[in-house]
Amino acid sequence: MNTKRLFAGVKVAATAALRAELAAWQQALRGERIRWTRPENLHLTIEFFGATEEGRIPELKAALAQAAAATKTFAIKLGGAGTFGGARSPRVLWLGVESAGLEELHGRVVAALAGIGWNPEAREFAPHLTLGRISRLQDTRRFGEALESRRAGVLPEQPVNELVLFASVTGRYVPVGSWGLGGG
């Protein structure tokens, strides 16, 4: 049985403002053991599928196409840094996302997947843009100060006009299919 590690998401453009934000974080946390997200891998995960049998990919694509066609294009606003994991051992550094359209797209994807008997992720949808994955912090105080000082910044809006099925292949996210968002 051949499988691919898949997820549905939307691409996030590595704008000058976003690159500057990422560079500021990298500078503030220089020397820490953080695997920073490469600009070409910036995305927002809508639904994670994990190891998926290749034989199920066509029906998955059909469901995603249906969800995309039923969703209007929208904008996202990135800002408000946070972490996943405990305060003393955070695992992921992220930027928050504001967008009613993203919530709508997620709902349509989940509904379309239910139509093919696919169970959605058990965890609650928590839209975020991963900036980096933290292996280990040497200076939790410095990290906390950086997080507090950069917590409130908001970047310019970005348009979202397509849904993408990605495969995770050796640290890269490779599009397997994409669908333009429709008129709702």
Question: What residues act catalytically?
Answer: 43, 128
Please state, in angstroms and rounded to a whole number, the distance separating the CA atoms of residues 95 and 21: 10
Neighbours of 134 (CB within 10 A): 20
Residues 6+ apart with CB under 8 A from 122: none
The count of C-alpha atoms lying within 13 angstroms of the C-alpha of 40, restricted to the half-sphere facing its C-beta, is 6
Q: Where are the beta strands (DSSP E) in the chain?
A: 3-11, 33-36, 43-53, 74-85, 90-98, 128-136, 158-160, 162-169, 172-180
Please state, in angstroms and rounded to a whole number, the distance separating the CA atoms of residues 64 and 9: 10
Cα Rg of the chain, angstroms: 17
